[in-house]
Copies of this chain bind each other. A is one copy, B any other.
Amino acid sequence: MNTPEKEHISDWLQGLQDTICQGLEKLDGQSNFVEDKWKRADGGGGRTRTFKDGDLIEKGGVNFSAVHGPTPPKILEALKLKEADFFATGVSIVLHPNNPWAPIIHMNVRYFEMDNGVWWFGGGIDLTPHIIVDEKAKAFHDSLKKICDTHHKDYYPKFKVWADDYFYLSHRNETRGVGGIFFDRLSEDDAITKEDRWDFVKDLGSSFVSIYTDATNNLRNKECTEADKNWQEIRRGRYVEFNLVHDKGTKFGLDTDGRTESILVSMPPRAQWHYDFQPSNEDHLRTQSLLKKGIDWVSK
């Protein structure tokens, strides 16, 4: 087997975007993706695909990009490296469902390399229920553990903790949702080759539609109250807070003159803020109590 080259990785990820968009259109059954192609002044570009007013999905985006050029100074500083050209490609997804019982989902898989030989894979997937349904959170983590375990026994335990730490609103002292997995700067080592890393990333990416199908099955048409809808918009407000205050990808994109409308497809269609809001509904209260690190969903 050959070491995957950047062109191969980028082509595969572009194909993944197609597969996922087709799968989500079928899953939704009501609306379709609309595509905007864009070019980056300094090199490369992307395909932003957005979705709205579906049966399942109220607003969402599945973005692909492959960009290159001189490495942004901020990355060079962080890596303590001299000037180098970079290449970065990835697929990024955020979906906001209509029904408050259905969860928000996010996935990102990405590859980065520089012409000085440095390269890595990064990514993650996490689930943000407006109202936590334990068996769904468990099933989500079970699926992720299964994918991880196929590739390396350390992946799930390590990447699960990493997600707990990453998808965390320190200013609220709460996690974004029930977590998932997160990983960054996965390069090769004595035991793990570039092919191994790439196989893992491909498996994760390929599982997306099936994972979101399971996560929303039996919930997407569940009856909900006006209080559930308001709570959904409050939770979406927290999603906004995470993305604009904490998310490194969003921050980096906005700081480095990225395409704002593509970056902010992650924003919910509608969000609410109330001073010192305290839920009174039992399901909402229980959800709030479960927004913490270290919950072992697989063993639930």
Contacts and interface: CB of A to CB of B under 8 A. Distances in A.
Interface in A208-264: 233, 237, 240-241, 244-245, 251, 254, 260-261, 263-264
Nearest to A245: B244
Interface in A1-44: 36
Q: Per DSSP, are chain A's interface residues mostly helix, strand or loop, or mixed?
A: mixed
A171 B270 contact: no
Q: How large is the interface on A (under 10, 10 to 19, 20 to 34, 35 or more residues)?
A: 20 to 34
Given A241-B244, A254-B245, A260 B172 contact: yes
Number of copies of this chain that the complex holds? 2
A273 B272 CA distance: 12
Contacts of A267: 237, 273
Contacts of A36: 276
Contacts of A61: 275
Nearest to A258: B171
A241 B260 CA distance: 11
23 contacts: A36-B276, A50-B276, A59-B274, A59-B275, A61-B275, A170-B254, A171-B263, A172-B260, A240-B244, A240-B271, A241-B244, A241-B264, A244-B244, A244-B245, A245-B251, A264-B273, A265-B275, A267-B273, A268-B273, A269-B273, A270-B270, A270-B272, A270-B273
